[in-house]
Structure 1
Amino acid sequence: MDRVAQAGAIDPVTLTVIEKGLQQVCSEMDLVHEKTSFSPVISEGLDRSNGIYHVEDGRMIAQGALGLPIFLGVMQETTRAVIADRRDLRDGDVVLVNDPYFGGTHLMDVKMVRPFYYRGKLWCYLANTGHWPDTGGMVPGGFNSTATEIYQEGLRLPPVRLVREGVMDEDIVRIVLANVRVSSERIGDIKAQIAALATGVRRLTALLDRYGEATVEAAIAELEARGEALMRAHVAAIPDGTYSASAFMDSDGVVNEALEIALDATVAGSDITLDFSRSSAPCAGPMNSVWASTLSAVYVGLKHIFPDLPMNAGCFKPVRVTGTADTFLEAREPRPVAGCASETSQRIVEAVCLTLAHALPDRSFAAGAGSSGNLSLGGFDPATGQAYIMYTFSGGGYGGWWGGDGLTNGCSTIGISKNQPVEILEQRYPLLFERYNLREGSAGRGEYRGGFGIDYRFRLQRGQGKASFLMEHGRFGPPGILGGEAGLPNEIRISQGGSVTRPEHISKGEGYVLREGDWIEVLTPGGGGYGDKADRSAEARAADRQYGQSED
């Protein structure tokens, strides 16, 4: 008999065990996904996430502790879209979808959704996302910085049934593999995502068998209610009023002008409304954000400020996001969106943190590097006789905060993905990293300085490749708060045949053909400073001098 039926209410110990059990189901899915993927961006960089979503409307029940934060809101929006579109799903089916306008992000974030049945009844949905290094399109790797419509960015998939009652549809697989580069690698990633969902089925079934359906359902409802109560308590502690700030993007990749994310946050009791209506209009290039990505970025920004929030949908019931419809933060078909999940989302997080900094100085962070440093290289390796796609991302400095200096070489503010080891990249691709070190002196000064970015250069060893990159914070360094200074901006240099150039759009470019001996150099941003540099301690100043951080 279920514990709830026995006792009439769920006890705190059982509640905690079930909460951790649900998270563990997701974490095991993450682990299987990571360990069985063929692409280094997933197997080494951990650019993936798995979760459990409510049968009614797809709202999030749980996500793995090692899943990317940006998918907090994205995968629940994907699941909601699948529920609305596919009422014909059966036990054992798996839906494949990457359509940005269907609760997605950019095309490279490929989702799978599987209905979970328990004792013959549809009980919830399991979903995951994996970043595929290529989904076709004009540019190897998918980060097409000059795209002006979604059709130029790659293969777009509405919710299609990839697996039918446990059997993979080979026709769908053939269509997908015929439209992507290095198909032998993609099929491994496809099977890894399917395997992760199968692991979730086994582990969630075991959890329900152990504690009973009614007990687990009661725990989920209680956890959601507690998440909402905790968020309301946090919001209620903010003085009522309207707070405003803006974050700026370098350009959209097509028109060389800055884009503004302007935010007005209004707090009224335990509710908060975030209004983006003053932001820039929809843009020509691929920095438009789809609704799911914008919403999720807001959630991530609030979780940065309130890190004790659990990962369930209840936490965000007091949060209302408005004013996006006529801006580049709610893209409509066919606008290009390649940069939404990795770059635009980080500017949204930055806007949220800057907006609430003056209301909550003891919970605030200066801006971090705020760029995933997306860099792709596609070509043919004459030594192996094989085509390849390398997609890599890089870390940067985090902003100083109320408790200390910012983290050096931190991951993106919307992810927990780590740098792929250069040894793995050198082993897989025809290139050599000539340096990979800290970018000393890049931190924004303040009472607490930002963290340092990194400085790396790789050289093509053989053959020919085509490089593209889509980054941010090249025109503007990450801003400080409360008197802190900005960190150094992003810098990119490309050497082709001995001639060194910089991209016209500073942080974005494509079509750079590299031949043997050519190189690319990237210097990622340092984090912004927190507070007045005059208040920095003598001991901290002495340490700064050791790391090349000037006091001038």
Structure 2
Amino acid sequence: MAKTPIDPVTLVVIQNGLQQVCNEMDLAFCRAAFSPVISEALDRSDGIYHGQTGELIAQGELGLPVFVGTMQFSTQAVIERALKVPMLAPQPGDVYIVNDPYLGGTHLMDVRFVKPFFYKGKLFSWLSNTGHWPDIGGMVPGGFSANATEVEQEGLRLPPVKLYKAGVLDEEILSIILSNIRIADQRIGDIKAQAAALAIGEKRLTALLDRYGADVVEQAIEELKQRASQQMRARIATIPDGVYEGSAVVDSDGVVDEPLLIRMKVTKTGEELHFDMTGSSPPCRGPMNSVIATTYSSIYLAVKHIFPDVPINAGTFEPLKITDPHGTFLYAKYPRPVSGCAAEVSQRIAEAVFNALVPAMPDRLFAAPAGTSGNLALGGYDPQRDRSYVMYVISGGGYGGWHAGDGLTNGCSTIGISKTTPIEVMEQYYPVLFEEYSLHEGSGGAGQYRGGFGVNYTIRLRRGEARASMVMDHGRTGPQGALGGEDGGTNTVAIETMQADGTHTYVPPHLSKDQDIEIRAGDRVRVSTPGGGGFGDPKRRDPALIARDIERGYYTPDQIRQRFGVAATKNAAE
């Protein structure tokens, strides 16, 4: 017998109820986590996934977009493993842990917890979350090994195993994990916070099912999936049919000092978009390979940037058809290193999508944003507090200009809503002093609408010794301009060390990637993040806006003359 159609009011209420379950998991995770990268920078995500297929049902609004696709794939990997291995069969209270990049993951630092959700004795769905752990072992503190040539050098790799069995933490598995990572004594707080968030989700989802019934909620989930697919297809239909090509460049892989090219061909036919990246560079030796789950998720988030009003669930991505880029660095297979895939390569993939489609839809798209998370890890020992630490810094950059305005300054990365941890928090937790935090003036790409600006920051080590490692990008070429706009400014890194004969400045050979740089008290790390690309011909920029930029010191007179083709005057009419 055919089911009675669900009424629109009930459908919307259930949709918001599912969203609220995820939002509460987000908040619980953030508030309980020990690590600033989770509690302050929000480098984490929570979601609900289908009980049989593992497909995305809902994700929290505080979650990183790049995890939308990858958590779906990692949940499916858990389901597949649980069906094959009897001892891994799901039971109430179980929580699986997994961070294997090749099983629907990103890099090793993104650790996933997956919990089967039972309602009245029946497996109804899966609850999952991801948290960026400050350290997962490996060659360098923080896990961002710029010189790794195999995944084992990047840290501890975990297949799906039960960390909690029937609600009880498995002390043997926990001891294995803690014995292989730095600052292990601080990690238990994040582990329990991650598990507590899933417990909150379990409680809230149970209440939702108690109120509306499992059958009605299941019917709503299927209806919401179909509607999301229909909405995305309707948005895609507004793009003119055709083949659109774009590209993006990764500076280097951290080992071989040569650029990596992403070739993006987007074919629009009817209500579908087809993505082909098979012409991209082959697998690389260093850690800038991307696992296939991250590559898919990068496409998903790029399209979601273009059509932000379409709700997120598995149906959102049904009209997006992706040709697996076998034989390229965008389809990493074991043992290729991948620490740069989620934070850096994913943003180049999105940039290539934007670059390809901006001519087809200039009223919806924009020039390239900064496109790097600016991953900087500082690991050392604090003699005053008598403990080791790992500090992880992510930083914002400029957004690209668009058809109606300049780009945002110091915005978060393309892949998520993660923000820089407040410097006051980092100075409280770690033996550092931020001596500068300012606009990276001049970094916005010129255009009718210029790009936003990146930031400059300088960190001085106050005491002890430490090792600095970084995996960033756009150090060689800046974010791309669009429709005649110029590229944004580049990322720069310099290490200033105090020596007997004066201050020495070290610039990484790969410009924005290096590891294990020894620093001592008084030494400084200086970083400037990229500005966004410009949009449209710079000569068409409103003279009043140029005058305002001069007055505020955003550009020097020489930059105004060279980039905008006008004299640097404070009077807009001159």
TM bin, normalised by shorter chain, reads: over 0.9
Q: Residue 47 of structure 1: CA displacement?
A: 0.5
The CA deviation string for residues 241-297 of structure 1, in whole angstroms up to 9 with x for no partner, is 111010001000000000001000111111111000110000000000001100000
Within the candidate set 40, 50, 53, 1:54 is matched to: 50
| Aligned-partner Cα distance in 2 for 1:541–1:303 | 32
Q: Name the structure 2 match of 1:551.
A: 560
- Find out whether 1:293 has 2:289 as its counterpart: no
| Aligned-partner Cα distance in 1 for 2:41–2:56 | 24
Q: Name the structure 2 match of 1:24.
A: 20
Question: For structure 1, which runs of at least 5 residues remain unmatched after alignment?
Answer: none
Opposite residue 532 of structure 1, the aligned amino acid is D
Contact (CA 8 Å) 2:41, 2:419: kept in 1 or not? yes
Instruction: Please give the TM-score of this superposition, normalised by the length of structure 1.
Output: 0.98
Q: Residue 542 of structure 1: CA displacement?
A: 2.0
The CA deviation string for residues 335-380 of structure 1, in whole angstroms up to 9 with x for no partner, is 0000000000000010111111111111111101100000000010
Within the candidate set 69, 77, 80, 2:65 is matched to: 69
Q: Name the structure 1 match of 2:6.
A: 10
Within the candidate set 74, 80, 94, 2:76 is matched to: 80
The CA deviation string for residues 189-218 of structure 1, in whole angstroms up to 9 with x for no partner, is 111110000000000000111111122111
Q: Name the structure 2 match of 1:541.
A: 546
Q: Name the structure 2 match of 1:472.
A: 473
The CA deviation string for residues 138-177 of structure 1, in whole angstroms up to 9 with x for no partner, is 1100000000000100000000100001111000110000
Q: Residue 122 of structure 1: CA displacement?
A: 0.2
Opposite residue 515 of structure 2, the aligned amino acid is E
| Aligned-partner Cα distance in 2 for 1:135–1:548 | 40
Q: Residue 536 of structure 1: CA displacement?
A: 1.6
SS of residue matched to 1:551: helix
* Matching of residues 190-205 of structure 1 within 5 Å: 190-205=191-206
Q: Name the structure 1 match of 2:507.
A: 502
SS of residue matched to 1:176: helix
Q: Name the structure 1 match of 2:145.
A: 144
Select between 493-502 and 123-132 the one with higher mean Cα deviation: 493-502
Name the % identity: 58
The CA deviation string for residues 15-64 of structure 1, in whole angstroms up to 9 with x for no partner, is 11111111110010011100111100001101000000011211100000
Select between 249-258 and 236-245 the one with higher mean Cα deviation: 236-245
SS of residue matched to 2:70: helix
Q: Name the structure 2 match of 1:519.
A: 524
| Aligned-partner Cα distance in 2 for 1:479–1:448 | 13
Q: Residue 230 of structure 1: CA displacement?
A: 1.0
Q: Residue 405 of structure 1: CA displacement?
A: 1.0
Q: Residue 123 of structure 1: CA displacement?
A: 0.3
SS of residue matched to 1:522: strand
Instruction: Please give the TM-score of this superposition, normalised by the length of structure 2.
Output: 0.94
| Aligned-partner Cα distance in 2 for 1:466–1:315 | 43
* Matching of residues 307-456 of structure 1 within 5 Å: 307-456=308-457
The CA deviation string for residues 387-436 of structure 1, in whole angstroms up to 9 with x for no partner, is 11101100000111122111110001001011101111011111100011
Q: Name the structure 1 match of 2:567.
A: none
* Matching of residues 91-102 of structure 1 within 5 Å: 91-102=92-103
- Find out whether 1:530 has 2:539 as its counterpart: no
SS of residue matched to 2:560: coil
Opposite residue 531 of structure 1, the aligned amino acid is G
| Aligned-partner Cα distance in 2 for 1:458–1:168 | 39
SS of residue matched to 2:64: coil
Q: Name the structure 2 match of 1:217.
A: 218
The CA deviation string for residues 420-464 of structure 1, in whole angstroms up to 9 with x for no partner, is 011110111111000111111110011111111000001000100
SS of residue matched to 2:16: helix
| Aligned-partner Cα distance in 2 for 1:162–1:196 | 15
SS of residue matched to 1:363: coil
| Aligned-partner Cα distance in 1 for 2:548–2:8 | 47
Q: Name the structure 2 match of 1:208.
A: 209
Opposite residue 34 of structure 2, the aligned amino acid is F
Q: Residue 533 of structure 1: CA displacement?
A: 1.3
Opposite residue 420 of structure 1, the aligned amino acid is T
Q: RMSD of aligned C-alpha atoms?
A: 1.0
Contact (CA 8 Å) 2:324, 2:331: kept in 1 or not? no
SS of residue matched to 1:189: helix
| Aligned-partner Cα distance in 2 for 1:488–1:418 | 20
Q: Residue 539 of structure 1: CA displacement?
A: 2.5
- Find out whether 1:41 has 2:42 as its counterpart: no
| Aligned-partner Cα distance in 1 for 2:66–2:524 | 32
SS of residue matched to 1:437: strand
SS of residue matched to 2:76: helix
The CA deviation string for residues 502-523 of structure 1, in whole angstroms up to 9 with x for no partner, is 1000110111100011000000
Opposite residue 537 of structure 2, the aligned amino acid is D
Opposite residue 302 of structure 1, the aligned amino acid is V
| Aligned-partner Cα distance in 2 for 1:441–1:543 | 14
Q: Residue 85 of structure 1: CA displacement?
A: 0.6
Contact (CA 8 Å) 2:440, 2:454: kept in 1 or not? yes
Opposite residue 49 of structure 2, the aligned amino acid is Y
The CA deviation string for residues 70-119 of structure 1, in whole angstroms up to 9 with x for no partner, is 01101000001111011211111000000000110000000000000011
* Matching of residues 190-269 of structure 1 within 5 Å: 190-269=191-270
Opposite residue 347 of structure 1, the aligned amino acid is R
| Aligned-partner Cα distance in 2 for 1:535–1:22 | 47
Opposite residue 536 of structure 1, the aligned amino acid is R
Select between 292-301 and 319-328 the one with higher mean Cα deviation: 319-328
Q: Residue 323 of structure 1: CA displacement?
A: 4.2
| Aligned-partner Cα distance in 2 for 1:26–1:401 | 32
Q: Residue 239 of structure 1: CA displacement?
A: 1.4
Q: Residue 300 of structure 1: CA displacement?
A: 0.5
| Aligned-partner Cα distance in 2 for 1:401–1:310 | 23
